[in-house]
Chain A
Amino acid sequence: MKYVPLVWAALWRRKARTIFTLLSLTAAFLLLGMLQAANSLFSGGSVNLSAPIMIVQARVSFTSPLPMRLLPQLEAIPEVESVSHSQFFGGIYKDVRNFFPQFAVNPERWHRTFLECRMPDAQYQAWLQSRTGAIAGRLLADRFGWKIGDRIPLTSQIWPLKDGSRAWTFDLVGIFDDVSKDSCVRQGNLYVRYDYFDEGRQFGQGGAGIYVLRLHDPNQAEAVARRVDAMFENSPDETKTQTEKDFSLNFLRQLGNLNLILTGITVAVFFSILLVTGNTISQAVRERIPELAVLKTIGFGDGSVLNLVLAESLLMCVIGGLAGMLLSLVVLKVISKLPFGFPPVTAGLHVWLFAAASMVGLGLVVGILPAMRARNLSIIDALAVR
């Protein structure tokens, strides 16, 4: 600990060089933090949909609606606590860029299945009373500044009304909060009433969309999935049942092998930062050879000199890395506020662990050769600048 001032002084011996290297490191870790946060989203690390919820979709594709008649059979499964159904509405609010998902659901079933989503009882009662009623997640309501009582016009790209027009109108009767920790998942959605929707649409009556099952016990997910799929095997409506988490992940994975692309970029960033930092440290040591020799002359051992140089390199990587990671938090926060309709990306614990490991690893790798050189200095040669 007493050597900290010495290492600190050595680091700032050449201010400009250290600052440039630190800025380089900051840019690299800023990028690294964001890429790894995005990467963990695609590999499932940060999707913590932990609720015991499963999705039953048509085996051919989730875009083919399952018929309503599967409902009693699904409800009869003992492990299933409640069943909800939901049909993707595909509506546009004013402009295509305002994209957010809407689903037609049965309010009572929704209320019993998504226990994590809560709203005042008066609002729930109002939803039961009003056929044109809709409820919005807190994030969504904040995004457009909606208040209870607002009329929400939606132009459905999929479902025309009976008269051929596509302009639907709903009344906002409730705003719900999600009390679980993965709160962002549903808080950007709008839910409308299925009975009103089914009666109004031009075609497709009796289609339920997908089914959402809530289980008593999350450990039974696999057994339930097998059971449901076996139940409808070889019927006109074969199903595919998976946990909500897998359902979301499979959806994201369709975008392509993003993991690979992001990992590739991360490796490239690392490689170039390795070079920049390595160059700085080896220059710093080369310049200081006489000074290091003086240190050895006044009694510093070979090992201490090695440690001093390593500490300097580590300190630089950690300062630059931390600055970059903190900046990445800020940038991610800003991005999540932008209306991209992009899933929220957050740097979880493992992203920080990865970053910390990278800082230390980088510091050691770039420091080790110059440090060895400093250790192996012969005092006589070094003082004579030979």
Chain B
Amino acid sequence: MFKQTTAITAMNLRAIPQRLGTSWVIVIGIAVTVAVLVSVLAMAQGFKKTLASTGRPDRAIVLRGGSNAELSSTLSRENTLTIMDATGVKKDADGKPLASAEMVAVVALQQRKTGTAANVTLRGVGPKAFELRPEIHLVAGRMFQPAVRELIVGKSAVAQFKGTEIGSRIAFRDSEWTVVGEFESNGDAHESELMGDIETVLSAFRRNLFQSVTVLLDSPEAFNAFKDKLTTDPTLTVDVKREAEYYAEQSKQVSKLLNFLAYFVGGFMAIGAIFGALNTMYSAVSARSLEIATLRAIGFGAGAVVVSVFVEALLLSLIGGTIGAGVAWLVFNGNTVNTLGSNFTQVVFHLTVTPGLLLGAIFWACVIGVVGGLFPAIRAARLPVATALRAA
């Protein structure tokens, strides 16, 4: 049985070049489906990764109770001081808490590629912000000075938005700001932002309310004590979240949408590809009908014939899946795109094709191949031997 199967399968596979024209239908049909699926999923993956890498286990973010994002949160100055003095917050050498009370404002800039408007986050940060976030470091220029209208800009923001290079002036709110530095931040969400001194930003926007406080904790385990301290304080109504948890929530909506788009579009394309595969395999079986009938007549079993059809379908879809995944990886991996995050502002991220995505996509390609090969294989096994021989 096993010998029969290998013999027929090998013979069949050697004959594929004679049917090359129709075989391409399976290969290309599946390759295109897989390429689309992988590239849209890579978007979801990239967005998630960018936001996830913004969080660190020993940092916590405090927002007003019930606010789901910084933009809708407000904290008074007294509240921010209470939060920064709470237990569990790490102190520097001088005994000052490593915490930053921040304000975010939305600034309209233009996208470099399309010229359309883009909401960009302007973040006013406290003096300890960069000790708090050691991952942020300048790659060009210098740090902003307090009390002067100066900004530093994230690397991704420079790449995507017009007028953000060092030395350029950004005008908003009856004031003009000079870009003095460019920073990197491990490709996380802050790299899509503009940053300036908190007091200068507050005064320019004529506000006296902060939006969030980010603190560095003594250790990741200190979080619960810190949270209990704040939530039991009667002068505060705040939500305390680990940074990682906060940013994971922020990415949920967008990655859900992208995943939906990927499987919705990919699903319909897969249906199309299955019918294409069915056509190819049926015509392969009918081209081989004389051969199959002969084999059956000299004693080969139906099982061996079925396997040979299956293997052909599987092999072709495997090739298609690999080509599709490979093209998606070569062309789209690392592409920079941007979309709206939950602060109503742009988050810049890179398409990320992970090995898991590639394997998953090739798996789906094989599923298409198996479904497309099933009915033709059954037909091959049921081929009436005498009729098929006479037809030739």
Contacts and interface: CB of A to CB of B under 8 A. Distances in A.
B279 A279 contact: yes
Given A235-B174, A250-B117, A254-B340, 13 more contacts: A27-B271, A30-B268, A61-B105, A63-B106, A63-B344, A157-B66, A203-B209, A269-B32, A275-B24, A279-B22, A279-B24, A279-B279, A283-B283
Given A157-B68, A268-B36, A236 B276 contact: no
Contacts, number: 137
B13 interface: no
Interface stretch (B107-115, B142-150, B288-296, B311-319): B107-115
A16 interface: yes
Given A276-B25, A279-B279, A265 B339 contact: no
22 contacts: A24-B272, A24-B275, A24-B279, A31-B272, A61-B108, A61-B119, A64-B105, A64-B173, A157-B67, A157-B68, A234-B174, A235-B174, A236-B173, A254-B116, A254-B346, A256-B337, A265-B36, A268-B35, A269-B272, A276-B275, A276-B279, A279-B22
B275 A272 contact: no
Given A16-B282, A157-B66, A164-B237, A59 B272 contact: no
Interface string B17-52: 000011011001100110110001000000000000
Contact of A272 (B40, B74, B105, B272): B272
B119 A275 contact: no
Contacts of A271: 28, 32
A31 B106 CA distance: 36
A283 B22 CA distance: 9
Given A24-B275, A30-B268, A157-B67, A59 B172 contact: yes
B278 interface: yes
Interface string B186-203: 000000000000000000
B21 A282 contact: yes
B339 A21 contact: no
Given A257-B114, A272-B29, A61 B72 contact: no
Interface string A62-90: 01100000000000000000000000001
A255 B105 CA distance: 18
A273 B33 CA distance: 11
Nearest to B172: A60
B359 interface: no
Interface string B161-180: 00000000000111000000
Interface in B343-372: 344, 346
Contacts of B338: 256
Interface of A: 16-17, 20-21, 23-24, 27-28, 30-31, 35, 59-61, 63-64, 90, 96, 155, 157-158, 160, 164, 166, 203, 234-236, 238, 240, 250, 253-257, 261, 265, 268-269, 271-273, 275-276, 279-280, 282-283
A238 B71 CA distance: 21
Interface residues of B, number: 54
Nearest to B271: A27
Most chain B beta carbons < 10 A, residue from A59, A254, A283: A254
B265 interface: yes
A31 B29 contact: no
B21 A272 contact: no
A272 B114 contact: no
B378 interface: no
A17 B279 contact: yes
A166 B68 CA distance: 13
Nearest to B254: A255
Contacts of A279: 21-22, 24-25, 276, 279-280
A236 B346 CA distance: 25
Contacts of B71: 63
Nearest to B64: A160
Interface in B72-118: 72, 74, 105-108, 113-114, 116-118
B273 interface: yes
Contacts of B138: none
